[in-house]
Structure 1
Amino acid sequence: MEFKVNCGIWGAMFGVPSIVADNFLKLATGGQIKVLLYLLRCSGKMCSAEDISSNTGVSPEEAEEAVLFWQQANVLSPQANSAPAPVPSLMEQPVTNRSEAAPAQKSTEPAPDHKVNLSGQEIAAIMKDSQDIRELFTIAENILGTLKNSQMNSIIWMYDHLGLKKEVIITLISYCTSIEKTNTAYIEKIASVWAENDINTMAAAQDEIQCLSASRDYISGIMRAFEMTRRPTTKQTELIQQWKNAGFSVELLRYAYEKTVERIDKLNFDYINKILLSWRDSGFATVQDVKNAETDYRNKKTASKSSMNDTDVEEYESVINQFLH
């Protein structure tokens, strides 16, 4: 099918840099194209993110992200001596062809703690030269939706600088999506740990995901058992990991929590830990083990009494829990 532009309906016209059509029709998102067209139409004016949003339908945040994308592509440049609120203006002389643009080169400088901030041009050049990157972007878009410039940077960083294999990166992104943790910083944090620990095969990645999933399930179970309404602190998480490694069941933890609340009327991880260590030292591995010990103690104390006095309670706690040992 052939198409012909109806020149008769044109009114005033404005130019679009050739580099946009040459390099960015596939790379840029629809929102980024809309923002650029609006700014081109408003050439010479200062436009705020809110102005762009109201005239293009993208959110102010997406507008700012799009402006950053086009700045990195050398299509837009910051306006000198402007207030911080408005969006940067168009270049006075935008790049119009590939030969006028700065050469697109992929940075080779190592970045163990921070990814290289590649421009749109550099990303386009990398995509052109690397089938793996093109495939990574395609699959990642199917998982995450339209990729932002920061996400593209992140994927390239994981592949080139961390050295993670393509299938490992996709496995990581899929896992983070499944737990609704698609923040770029979160994905990069896990990627760094994987690279450091040489988790760089499908088998190793899947094993690690099983461990991560088990840890998340364990923490979630403890939060329910302890009636917590917020995520555990770093110190609490360290204790939880120790309990998991020691093989304490969530059921046993729940019982220790109940004993703690009975004793001090609040949730206290250190107190629960003392109870658990005391039970382990006494050979109690399950709630039933503890309850059997409680029953045996009561039976030995007296068969006729239905409850213990205060002295008995103190003696019982020293035998069963040994809180302060």
Structure 2
Amino acid sequence: MSEERKNSRLGKGLSALIGEYDTFEAPEGASDSVKEIQMLRMAQVRANPQQPRKKFDEKKLAELTASVKAHGVLTPILVREVDHQDYKFQIIAGERRFRASKAAELEEIPARILKTNDLQLLEIGLIENVQREDLNAMEEAEGYQALMSRFGKTQETVAESVGKSRAHVANMLRLLNLPESVRDHLRAGDITAGHARAALASDDPDAVVEQVMARKLSVRETEALVRKMAAGDMNGKGGSKAIDEKDVDTEALEADLSRALGLMVDIKAKANGGEIKIKYRDLEQLDDICRRLSRN
């Protein structure tokens, strides 16, 4: 595999979901311009300002630039036509290749042009790749968000399209509420989606994640940490304000319920019975809980 083709798969973001692969096969029904490769002047092309990926690995980009200088751009970028006085095409997929081509001082770049009436094909491609690709949790969440923002889908229709439950889609979308620093750790694999969802229940997700990484906490331990911090123990290590310790079975049940609901669950046992608390962040989450209870 060529160096450029190898690097084009590194650091997958949302662009990977919509066609940034080693090869691109236009679906049946696509316009001729999508099937054919055209050489576009670099000055006519611009990146999409709404591209979710804002950070590019400088080392990998330098490696790709070297490959482009030596071999050219082997995989065409995907663009759409726009009505702008300064440029004619906007990138849909392939911004890394475009940046590398600029750094290599190329005057032209190979591209496939997506016509307006091909947008449905783009939607289908995005859906198929959310289903198929080995994405990290943030990439999956950004893919669902793209289906909602770009194609007007609801959580229910997204769930139907990708063959997931609505609860799964809702839980993944919640990750978009994380601070950018926590998202970066999730993308890098420093923490899991379970850690991230537990941190969401805290008023300070950054502080939670810092302790998760420093102390190598499990998801269950992270959930316990969040509960202790909420009770006033800011370090989550115990003390006069720490909550009462719970037995292993209770903590396991809390973890199971939290995963099922995508929300923080707190179980407190008392002399006679006990209580379950479900913490929600906004009215949408509360509405989701009510719908589930009503359904059951």
Q: TM-score, normalised by structure 1?
A: 0.29
Larger radius of gyration: 1
Q: Which has the higher contact order (CA 8 A, sep 6+)?
A: 2
Which is helix-richer, 1 or 2?
Answer: 1
